[in-house]
Amino acid sequence: MASGENDRSFGPLTELVTAGRDPDDSYGFVNPPVVRGSTVVWPTVADMKALRGRYTYGRRGSPTSDALCDALMRLEGSDHVSLVPSGLNAVALGLLATLSAGDHLLMVDTVYEPTRKLCDGLLKRLGIDTDYYDPLIGSEISGHMRPNTKAVFVESPGSLTFEVQDVPAIAGAAHARGAAVVMDNTWATPLFFRAHDFGVDVSVSAGTKYLGGHADVLIGWVSATGQYASAVKQAHGALGLCVGPDDMFLGLRGLRTLGVRLAHHQASALRVARWLESRPEVERVMHPALENDPGHALWKRDFSGACGLFALELAPGSDEAVAEFLDGLELFGLGYSWGGYESLAIPYDARAVRTATRWAPTGPTIRLHIGLEDVEDLIADLDAGLARYAAAS
């Protein structure tokens, strides 16, 4: 499986099954071995001095990391992939690889909250200035660019509120001014949004979510093209980032079933979203695959699917009524890190994490992750929850 080949002669499901493995290299076994190792030894001083051989030091790569990186490179259609210990670490690496002291960053207002903290904290201390912009800005982003704007960060759909961005329009404007486009592509995964095909230079993902898929691993990756491939590689090496072999193996194992799991998450989530839309206790469902969602046209143009994560706004009601709804759910856990096989629900208030736009729902808002359970069971659980909500409101 040669790395860095961007030709897509196979369909994406075939790529998921074949990428990054070659039984001839694994004594015939289907899966590559989990290689544990810090030290690499050479037979002679001459070999050592010439760094002869494929591997030099555990941190700098192993057959296990190569297998996962090669597979992800094929899925992304990129020139380079670096593995990191978490999704947030992928965001940080993407930004540290593209920005220096004195640079300006344009950050989407609907970004994942810890990314905002990174920008307003560590990056600010390192002399990098961040301005937030409206996710719906499109090519008007030009008007916000300064001579020192070196990166524009997109996340689509937006965290918690699911606004779809016009990524190609933003990328066109950013590239015209020499800025890099960095994207958090965790929601769609490269299976449903091929970020680099839409002008994204550096695509970051929390593999903790759907790549792992079983709520049992923290991992992230950064994919880059062109000049940004070496920038990411260098920053990754300088920071000494590496991932344990068992976690990399769980990433590889998750990759093989990513397609079928996402198809199921997608179908069930859409089913639940449509059912919620029809309910009087629900004011609005935020899911870009719904025909009347404001982001639907852009989603349809650029994405080839939707995952299991979306949100809803309830008709006005108290916090106590929301707690009645959520506390009594049997099949939805109250938890943040989605993308596993199980369903989740969280109440949220996005008002505190928006500074360039105003978020003003009329009722309480809830984010759902639809897992792999029978969808009828999930709907029955939510149905009983909405009845509790209405009774307590």
Residue ranges that bind ligand PLP, judged by CB under 6 A: 86-88, 91, 112, 159, 184, 186, 206, 208-209, 218, 220, 337
- Identity at 104, one-letter amino acid code: H
- Minimal distance, residue 90 CB to ligand PLP, in Å: 7
- Residues 366, 361: Cα–Cα separation, whole Å: 11
Burial degree of 334 (CB within 10 A; 0-12, 13-18, 19+): exposed
Q: Which positions ≥6 away from 5 have C-beta within 8 Å? A: 74
- Minimal distance, residue 138 CB to ligand PLP, in Å: 21
Beta strand 202-206 with 220-224 is antiparallel
Name the nearest CA neighbour of 105 among 126, 88, 79.
126
Measured from the CB atom, the residue of 192 and 325 that comes closer to ligand PLP is 192
CA angle centred on 287, ends 252 and 338, rounded to 5°: 35
- Identity at 387, one-letter amino acid code: A
Q: Is 41 helix (H, G, I), strand (E, B) or coil?
A: coil
- Residues 255, 71: Cα–Cα separation, whole Å: 8
Residue with smallest beta-carbon separation from ligand PLP: 87
Among candidate residues 112, 132, 133, 210, the one labeled active-site is 112
Among candidate residues 79, 103, 184, 247, the one labeled active-site is 184
Using the structure block, give the residue that is written with the tokens 């707690």.
323
Among candidate residues 52, 59, 124, 301, the one labeled active-site is 59
Residue 186 phi, psi (nearest 5): -65, -40
- Minimal distance, residue 196 CB to ligand PLP, in Å: 18
Name the nearest CA neighbour of 85 among 214, 246, 242.
242
Region of 61 (left: φ > 0; alpha: ψ -120 to 50; beta: rest) is left
- Residues 255, 45: Cα–Cα separation, whole Å: 40
55 is catalytic: no
- Minimal distance, residue 212 CB to ligand PLP, in Å: 9
- Residues 104, 312: Cα–Cα separation, whole Å: 34
Measured from the CB atom, the residue of 139 and 337 that comes closer to ligand PLP is 337
- Residues 246, 211: Cα–Cα separation, whole Å: 14
- Minimal distance, residue 52 CB to ligand PLP, in Å: 36
- Minimal distance, residue 234 CB to ligand PLP, in Å: 22
Measured from the CB atom, the residue of 315 and 366 that comes closer to ligand PLP is 366
Measured from the CB atom, the residue of 130 and 208 that comes closer to ligand PLP is 208
Measured from the CB atom, the residue of 315 and 346 that comes closer to ligand PLP is 346
117 is catalytic: no
209 is catalytic: yes
Q: Which positions ≥6 away from 39 have C-beta within 8 Å? A: 57, 58
Measured from the CB atom, the residue of 159 and 223 that comes closer to ligand PLP is 159
Q: If you compute the radius of gyration of the chain from its CA atoms, what whole number of angstroms results?
A: 22
184 is catalytic: yes
Measured from the CB atom, the residue of 130 and 186 that comes closer to ligand PLP is 186
DSSP 123: I
- Minimal distance, residue 69 CB to ligand PLP, in Å: 17
- Residues 128, 182: Cα–Cα separation, whole Å: 15
Which residues are tagged catalytic? 59, 112, 184, 209
